[in-house]
Structure 1
Amino acid sequence: MTLPSMPLSPAAAPEGLRFAFYGRVSTEDNQDPAASRAWQLRRASGLVDPKGGTIVAEFFDVDKSRSIPWARRPQASALIEALKNPARDFDAVVVGEPHRAFYGNQYSLTFPLFEHFRVPLWVPEVGGAIDPANEAHDMIMGVFGGLSKGERNRIKIRVRSAMAAITATEGRYLGGRPPYGYELVDAGPHPNPAKAADGKRLRRLVPHPAYSLVVKWIFAQFIGGRGFFDIAEELTREGVPSPSAADPARNKHRIQVAWSKSAVRVIITNPRYTGRQVWNKQRKDEVLLDVNDVALGHTTKLRWNDRDQWVWSEQQAHEPLVSVADFERAQSTLASRGHGPTTHKPHRTRRPYAFRGCLHCGYCERRMQGNWINDQAYYRCRFPAEYALANKTVHPKLVYLREAVIIEDIDAWLVTAFSPARIETTIEAVTAQASRTGNPAATGLRKQVAACEQRLNQYRAALNAGADAVQVAAWINETEQERARLKGALDAIPADQAITNDGLAELLHQTGELAHAVVHAHPDDKADLYRKLGLKMTYYPQKKLVEARVSLTSTYADGLCPRSE
């Protein structure tokens, strides 16, 4: 669609105007970022150079979908921050291609910032700067946002329709990680002549000489009545490599130890073991990142489709490992489990666990689970020996702790720790800790940001190793959104945020009142009060010791609670 350029006022292009260029490219459709930047920059220069302008700064987002709002694009958000700086080194902003910059209603949400900071926005489609008072300019930019959204939707429809047709009629392998039990072999040149000329080849699935037998064994055992956990334990005990360990190059982002119940379940429910190619088992839904702030845009969520929406190949595409009849028997067995009549009597009341979610195992650092024995509350950590061996962890099969053994000592410690006589000592400890570690909230956020960056590096390594690009891209997008949210929360914390001694005394006084309330609370209410206190405990069976810690927003208290057998 070509729209006429709108005339500008003579004052719109003063001599020597300095410009910041903004562009964006998404590599989802195999675009070349360097080439895309070059032609967008060339188009922007062709607009400003004849009018005496000069591009002095560049903001170019790579591998960012147009559907992502400006606030969540790294370079676009950096440009917005630069607008706020009165000492910025540019006078105006030029966009080489509005289709790449704005999507849907992004223009109407972004342009008010340019207008507020009095920074002109130039686009080739209007022949210069956008006039805020010109309704035609506003209409043109709105139309381009709609066209950009429509173009993206049309591409999605074409790609999905083509993949469905290729799956149904040809049974072609469409990429991604091969299922456990199969490996990839060459299947000849690509049917597209241009891609074939570039050396691209088709691939197909063939049974792995060893792991295909494991898949057949798993189906036979499950149909015979064994459960996921039982099968997983035996496979780990016999030293059979798990799916992650069998293909470590494609699974660098996974823990490649032992078999899990979920790995067995994935095998049992995968219809590709019948020899048919299956596509569209999952879909990508775009959901609002924050329902209270629509301007933040959407995030992509992978969700399972109903079985009647799956696309099956009309003919067998590769050698089957199980028959269709056995596969259907496995699905029927899976669907029937857990839905039969029960002989368990319902509990009259919910069994209370005072330390629900607060108590951790000192061996593996996992939360201990509540367990009711002989009308008493216990906490246990169950860790099969096979998993301990695979994870190189020394861990008893079962770790038990009776609630009654420690609850009185914990309550007494809480009351003592926040007693008025210890207020000054606690303030000194908190102040010393704050001087060593800085703002605890900021420290926690920095650790979470670092964890996100570590996950991103792992995902990119998995992508380079040949992992499923669609799946990894979804993980990367989710992690980048989480990192952006954490960075926003971190930036919102004032650098000089501090709490006075009077404020600490007031906070500790309130905490002491809560600690006293715990002692006299009903057992059903203790768990909520412990949670409000931020109580976290770690049980070390080998030392017969429970380490207790209270973590509040601005302070904490540490201590050890001894226990005896």
Structure 2
Amino acid sequence: MSSGDATWQDELVVRTDVIGCGLAPEIVSVDTFTQVQLMRRSRAAGGMRGRGKLDRRTFTTSRPYRLRGRFRCTLCERKMLAATIRNTIYYRCLARTIAPGSPVLTAHPRTVNVREDHVNDPLNDWIMQAYDRDHINQTVAAIVAANPRLIAARSQRTRAVAKLKDADKRLRRHRAAIEAGVNPVALVEPINAAEAEGAAAKAELENLPEPSQVTAAEIYARIDMIGELGTSLSSAQPERLNKLYDAIGLELRYAPDEQRVHVSTTLRVANECVRGGT
């Protein structure tokens, strides 16, 4: 846990299933596109006043986009924009809005679309299952076990131990060479280098901080504060769902090449951030 004003975040990633999604058909015909282009040119001919009408504007809408701001495209890592097309809600990523010359354009389709109605039910089913009474213990245990700070600390310790062993091995080899008759002067620099690396690795091991560990009790306490978890979401109002999604830090990443949505959630425990996902 952090103390005072100092804070840190843990991102605990637990991967299970993913949600399959369909793609959208072509949206605008060639004739419609041509007519729009002619209209734009006509307006632009009116000078600066006419060109001003061509700028993008922000419109308010009463339509409930349940997952607005939560989708990202895995190809370019940008947020996907919500749009309604023929009374169907899509989240879209357009290649034409990517900076010209970006290497992302080589693999990015002209338009990436994912339908909201293909995601809603599988997503809410996953949330209810992950946090219901039958699965809550498994979910919490997986979150605790996946603490990246703990994993990173173990990895750092493993690397330091390997460096120390390698330095000791080289020192023993150099000393054996001297005993076998090799001129010690020729090995002064290699011996000094091995001793310095060994000393640095030993100092690193002695000064490694103990990783902070989020406890299961803290995670349970946070989950108890979110009363919507583990309850039916199939008929929930958009406002209620948005509050729940905010509380669990819902994030969605759509992979067009897989036609799958990867889901992650973030639970904040005091000043810590605890993450799980699918």
TM-score scaled by length of structure 2: 0.52
From 385, 388, 397, the counterpart of 2:110: 397
Q: Which amino acid aligns with 1:338?
A: K
2:125 equivalent to 1:427: no
Per-residue displacement from partner, 1:47-77 (whole Å, max 9, x unpaired)? xxxxxxxxxxxxxxxxxxxxxxxxxxxxxxx
Q: Which amino acid aligns with 2:255?
A: Y
Kept in 2: contact 1:356–1:527 (CA 8 A)? no
How big is the shift at 1:418? 1.0
Larger RCO (CA within 8 A; separation ≥ 6): 2
Distance in 2 (CA, whole Å) between partners of 1:360 and 1:339 is 27
Distance in 1 (CA, whole Å) between partners of 2:120 and 2:127 is 11
- Kindly tell me: are residues 433 and 351 of structure 1, through their superposed partners in 2, closer, same or farther at Cα, counting changes over 3 Å? same
Residue 555 of structure 1: aligned partner: 274
How big is the shift at 1:502? 2.0
Alignment of 1:364-513 (within 5 A): 364-384=76-96, 387=99, 390-393=102-105, 394-434=107-147, 435-437=150-152, 498-511=213-226, 513=228
**Percent of residue pairs identical:** 24
Per-residue displacement from partner, 1:365-394 (whole Å, max 9, x unpaired)? 111111111222111111129857543531
- Kindly tell me: are residues 333 and 537 of structure 1, through their superposed partners in 2, closer, same or farther at Cα, counting changes over 3 Å? same
Alignment of 1:58-69 (within 5 A): none
Distance in 1 (CA, whole Å) between partners of 2:219 and 2:49 is 56
How big is the shift at 1:498? 4.5
Q: Which amino acid aligns with 1:366?
A: R
Per-residue displacement from partner, 1:244-269 (whole Å, max 9, x unpaired)? xxxxxxxxxxxxxxxxxxxxxxxxxx
Kept in 1: contact 2:223–2:229 (CA 8 A)? no
Q: Provide structure 2 residue ranges, at least 5 long, that are not aligned to the other structure.
A: 1-40, 154-209
Q: Which amino acid aligns with 1:526?
A: L
RMSD of Structure 2 on Structure 1 (CA): 3.6
Rg larger in structure: 1
Kept in 2: contact 1:354–1:526 (CA 8 A)? yes
Q: Which amino acid aligns with 1:401?
A: V
Distance in 2 (CA, whole Å) between partners of 1:437 and 1:520 is 41
How big is the shift at 1:422? 2.0
Kept in 1: contact 2:82–2:92 (CA 8 A)? yes
Residue 63 of structure 2: aligned partner: 351
Q: Which amino acid aligns with 1:355?
A: L
Kept in 1: contact 2:80–2:91 (CA 8 A)? yes
Q: Provide structure 1 residue ranges, at least 5 long, that are not aligned to the other structure.
A: 1-223, 228-328, 341-345, 439-494, 560-565
TM-score scaled by length of structure 1: 0.27
How big is the shift at 1:538? 0.8
Q: Which amino acid aligns with 1:424?
A: N
Q: Which amino acid aligns with 1:377?
A: I
Kept in 1: contact 2:254–2:262 (CA 8 A)? yes
Kept in 2: contact 1:378–1:400 (CA 8 A)? yes
- Kindly tell me: are residues 385 and 415 of structure 1, through their superposed partners in 2, closer, same or farther at Cα, counting changes over 3 Å? closer
Residue 338 of structure 1: aligned partner: 53
Kept in 2: contact 1:418–1:509 (CA 8 A)? no
Q: Which amino acid aligns with 2:87?
A: D
SS of residue paired to 2:143? helix
Size of the aligned set, in residue pairs, is 173
How big is the shift at 1:551? 1.3
SS of residue paired to 1:547? strand
